[in-house]
């Protein structure tokens, strides 16, 4: 052994992710650079490459952490609900919590969906697992629908995500003021109503 490490690799990793998180939160994805992350840690840029394959790798790990925080945020929202709250109420809570998280952590949340991995490469399992966990939360609240719950979960998840994207990137604001929570309510309530109606017709 030689040159006692100031920080273990695990510490370096955590410091880099924390620095990157602060930068993205404050300046957006465009403000992120290896030199800026490194200098915030008190290291040279080259040091990052001892811990990450490249900047893409760092972003992927930051995104996994963001999804973990989102998951915790959703769990809290559910915990605040009365114990006897029904599925619809719980789904609405999840949907609104999702939108609030996206708004509060806009840049970090954007990075998750705007970071395209290089052609052909596949999402690392660490990230995929986090996505599954989130979707699982929605599926759990829809299990009473029986067959079709997984489809409904994906529709609602995507729908709420779409509302957040368009509302927060001003792509809807061009058409007048947007009340995103009202859109979320309408989506969840009408979709669930429709699902119930369709079910009655079939049976």
| Span from 32-40, 93-101, 140-148, 189-197 in contact with DNA (CB under 7 A) | 32-40
Instruction: Return the residue of 46, 82, 146, 177 that touches DNA, per CB under 7 A.
Output: 46
Residue 161 interacts with a copy of itself (CB under 8 A): yes or no: yes
Rounded to whole angstroms, the Cα distance separating 120 from 52 reads 20
Residue 28 interacts with a copy of itself (CB under 8 A): yes or no: yes
Residue 126 interacts with DNA (CB under 7 A): yes or no: no
The length of the chain, given as a count of residues: 203
At 29, list the tokens.
Answer: 């994805």
Residue 157 interacts with a copy of itself (CB under 8 A): yes or no: yes
Measured from the CB atom, the residue of 73 and 88 that comes closer to a copy of itself is 88
DSSP character string of 15-75? HHHHHHHHHHHHH-GGG--HHHHHHHHTS-GGGGGGT-SSHHHHHHHHHHHHHHHHHHHHH
Instruction: Return the residue of 13, 36, 40, 96 that touches DNA, per CB under 7 A.
Output: 36
């Amino acid at each position: 052994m030689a040159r006692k490490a100031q920080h273990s690799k695990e510490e370096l990793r955590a410091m880099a992710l924390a620095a990157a998180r602060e930068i993205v939160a404050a300046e957006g994805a465009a403000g992120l650079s290896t030199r800026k992350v490194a200098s915030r840690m008190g290291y040279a840029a080259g040091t990052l490459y001892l811990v990450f394959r490249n900047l893409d790798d760092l972003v992927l790990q930051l995104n996994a952490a963001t999804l973990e925080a989102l998951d915790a945020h959703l769990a809290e929202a559910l915990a605040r609900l009365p114990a006897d709250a029904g599925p619809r109420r719980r789904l609405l809570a999840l949907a609104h919590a999702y939108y609030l998280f996206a708004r509060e952590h806009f840049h970090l949340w954007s990075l998750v969906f705007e970071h395209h991995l290089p052609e052909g490469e596949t999402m690392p399992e660490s990230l995929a697992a986090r996505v599954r966990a989130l979707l699982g939360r929605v599926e759990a609240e829809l299990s009473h629908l029986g067959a079709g719950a997984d489809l409904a979960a994906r529709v609602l998840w995507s729908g709420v995500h779409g509302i957040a994207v368009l509302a927060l990137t001003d792509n809807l604001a061009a058409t007048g003021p947007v009340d995103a929570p009202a859109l979320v309510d309408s989506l969840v309530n009408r979709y669930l109503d429709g699902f119930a109606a369709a079910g009655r017709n079939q049976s």
